[in-house]
Amino acid sequence: MIKEYSTIDEISGPLMLVSGLKGVGTGERAEVELKDGSVRSGTVLEINGDSALLQLRGSEGIDLNGSKVRFMGHAPELAVSGDMLGRIFDGEGRPIDGGACLLAEKHIAFGGIPASPDMREGPKEMITTGFSALDAMDPLLRGQRIPMMTFPGIENRAFVSRLARETVSSGDDFAVVFAAIGVSFEEAESFVQDFRRVGILDRTVVFETLSDDPAAAQAEALSTAMTAAEYLAFEKDLQVLFVMTDLTAWCEALREISSARREARGNGFFPRYLRGELASVFERAGRRSGKSGSVTFLPVMTLQDEDFSGTLPEIVNSVSDGRIVLSRGLARKGIYPPVDVIRSCSRLKDSCIGPGRTRGDHADIARGLFLAYSRGVEARGRAASAGDRYCAAFADEFEKSFLNQGRDGSRTMDETLDLGSELLKKLSK
């Protein structure tokens, strides 16, 4: 039921306080109608007695006496349908590609419903990406939650869209959900064009809430996109790859809202509930018992060079099943993809490699390469003794011939493992 009030008490920046309310709930959608008839939308952040705190998309021109606030009576919902594939939506799920309105099969509340642990099934099936750095060292699994941590100045789009293509190309029961949150038009548009270039845009649902949208809209967009991913995976039985960029911007949007509400804050001034908020998104990805679909969650997260051990990566690590870390050093050397295999990790690796899954020697090769490469990287700094130089030379060789595959190179699992064991044989000579 829609209720209308004109009891605005306070307007401060994007926040508005309205009192004398009955039956208004948090998360409810609201509209403010100005004296001149124009309308601003907002969301209820907080309820205190009979008053509500609203976060608005711009408060310009709203006055205390003449403006009216309407509460829409329900939390925001996403209209979903199988026809979403190939379409572009805003953070609230409205089409923005100029195409026709979506004929909704049903409406789902953005929040989704957390799956209880007994409904879950651990990821088991490996996605062969064609990249040796991942396939051999840190394999990607269907239903894994694995952030890609990158740094300003590294080109990660082509890599991400290649990963998406490798995941999708194998059949009709695949889909990509892509959410661009808090990034520039250029960044979002380049992703969309890359998806088009590799030929998967018609299997992709795009959600865009760019950096000119208010923090509240950015914060909300991630659940919107996740709702679509869940729907496609668990109701349409598709294997879904959910790519979002940028997780840092999303966390900062939460921080901005939290600061506006003057909440107690933890490390890095992020709200103390950030881990919970992140977990409630990450936990929605994965596999469910009795369902054939899955959501593989690959958020891109831009870090600053030195804060790899900072607040955000630490929290994100604790709620995910590993991480893919890119390195500026490798990117500068022209190594593609510039995956830093020493800092990357896949917590589910052991459940998908080995005899009967990949190959009997997979684990040994991966371990051998990791040890020799990390020894070589350490030795580079010293390079005093002949042994050090030998180790460092292996590291160079490993980067040049194993990690580096060029823009279009793709290797089968066997090719990757054969190459790895060849390198190790050379080393032991």
Partner 1 sequence: MSGTVTKVSGPLVMAAGLEDAGAGDMVSVGKRRLAGEILSLSGNGAVIRMFDPSDGLAFGEEVSDFGGPLAVELGPGLFGGVFDSLLRPLYGGGDQTAVLWDFVPSVSDGAQVTEGDVIGTVTEAGGFIHRIMLPAGLSGTVVSIQEGSYAAQDSVCLLRDGEGENHRLTLTQRWPVRKSRPFARKTLPSAPLHSGIRAVDTFFPLAKGGTALISGAAGSGKTVLLQSLAGCSDADVIVYVCCGGRGNEISTLRNALSEMKDENGVSLLGRTVVIADTDDMPPASREAAVYAGATVAEYCRDMGYSVILLVDTLSAWAEGLREISEKLGEAVCEDAYPAYLGSRISELFWRAGQVNCLGREGRRGELTIIGSVSTSSGDAQETVLKSARRCVKVHLSLTDSREYPSVDFVTSFSMYAESLRERLTGELGERFMSSRDTALSALQSESPDAVTRMTASALREGFIIQNAFEENDRSSSSARQTILLRLITDCGGICRAAVAEGADPEKIAAIRLGEKIEKLKYFTDAELVESAKRITENMRNRTDAILAGEAEV
| Integer angstrom CA distances of residue 197 from 154, 161, 169, 190, 405 | 20, 9, 13, 10, 19
**Separation of first and last alpha carbons in the chain:** 78
SS3 of the chain: helix, strand, coil, percent, to 5: 40, 25, 40
- Asked if 190 interacts with partner 1 (CB under 8 A), we say yes
Out of 63, 97, 237, 414, the residue judged to bind partner 1 by CB under 8 A: 63
Q: Using only C-alpha atoms, what is the Rg of the chain?
A: 24
Out of 7, 51, 259, 374, the residue judged to bind partner 1 by CB under 8 A: 259
Give Cβ neighbours of residue 255 (< 8 Å, ≥ 6 apart).
Answer: 265, 269, 270, 271, 274
Minimum separation from the CB atom of position 297 to partner 1 (A): 21
- Asked if 11 interacts with partner 1 (CB under 8 A), we say yes
Q: Candidates 107-115, 141-149, 209-217, 312-320 — which segment interacts with partner 1 by CB under 8 A?
A: 209-217
Out of 2, 25, 39, 64, the residue judged to bind partner 1 by CB under 8 A: 64
Minimum separation from the CB atom of position 6 to partner 1 (A): 12
* 345 membership: H or E segment, kind and range: strand 345-346
Out of 272, 332, 367, 426, the residue judged to bind partner 1 by CB under 8 A: 332
Out of 4, 9, 97, 414, the residue judged to bind partner 1 by CB under 8 A: 9
Minimum separation from the CB atom of position 188 to partner 1 (A): 10
In this structure, what DSSP letter does residue 201 have?
G
- Asked if 20 interacts with partner 1 (CB under 8 A), we say no
Q: Which residues 147-176 are close enough to bind partner 1 by CB under 8 A?
A: 152-153, 155
- Asked if 256 interacts with partner 1 (CB under 8 A), we say yes
- Asked if 193 interacts with partner 1 (CB under 8 A), we say yes
Give Cβ neighbours of residue 348 (< 8 Å, ≥ 6 apart).
Answer: 122, 123, 141, 144, 321, 322
- Closest to partner 1 by CB, 122 or 406: 406
CA 313 – CA 123 distance, rounded (Å): 23
C-alpha of 353 from chain center? 25
Out of 161, 248, 358, 404, the residue judged to bind partner 1 by CB under 8 A: 248
Token pair 């960029």 is found at 245
- Asked if 184 interacts with partner 1 (CB under 8 A), we say yes
- Asked if 258 interacts with partner 1 (CB under 8 A), we say yes
- Asked if 253 interacts with partner 1 (CB under 8 A), we say yes
Out of 25, 269, 385, 415, the residue judged to bind partner 1 by CB under 8 A: 269
- Asked if 118 interacts with partner 1 (CB under 8 A), we say no
Minimum separation from the CB atom of position 158 to partner 1 (A): 8
CA 259 – CA 13 distance, rounded (Å): 12
- Phi/psi zone of residue 245: left (φ > 0), alpha (ψ -120 to 50 degrees), beta? beta
CA 156-158-163 angle, to 5 degrees, is 95
Token pair 């690796």 is found at 349
- Give just the sign of the alpha carbon dihedral 167, 325, 117, 108: negative
The tokens of 262 are what?
């003057």
- Closest to partner 1 by CB, 134 or 377: 377
Give Cβ neighbours of residue 384 (< 8 Å, ≥ 6 apart).
Answer: none
Give Cβ neighbours of residue 70 (< 8 Å, ≥ 6 apart).
Answer: 2, 3, 4, 5, 30, 31, 32, 33
Q: Return the bridge partners of 297, or none.
A: 145, 242
Out of 118, 172, 212, 408, the residue judged to bind partner 1 by CB under 8 A: 212
Q: Which residues 353-392 are close enough to bind partner 1 by CB under 8 A?
A: 380, 383
Minimum separation from the CB atom of position 137 to partner 1 (A): 23
Out of 186, 309, 386, 429, the residue judged to bind partner 1 by CB under 8 A: 186
Q: Candidates 43-51, 71-79, 265-273, 287-295 — which segment interacts with partner 1 by CB under 8 A?
A: 265-273
Out of 147, 182, 299, 376, the residue judged to bind partner 1 by CB under 8 A: 182
The tokens of 92 are what?
């609230």
- Asked if 62 interacts with partner 1 (CB under 8 A), we say yes
- Closest to partner 1 by CB, 17 or 419: 17
Residues in binding contact with partner 1, number by CB under 8 A:
54
- Asked if 342 interacts with partner 1 (CB under 8 A), we say no
| Residue ranges in contact with partner 1 by CB under 8 A | 9-13, 17, 34, 59-66, 152-153, 155, 182, 184-186, 189-190, 193, 210-212, 214-215, 246, 248-249, 252-253, 255-256, 258-260, 262-263, 265, 268-269, 302, 304-306, 332-334, 380, 383
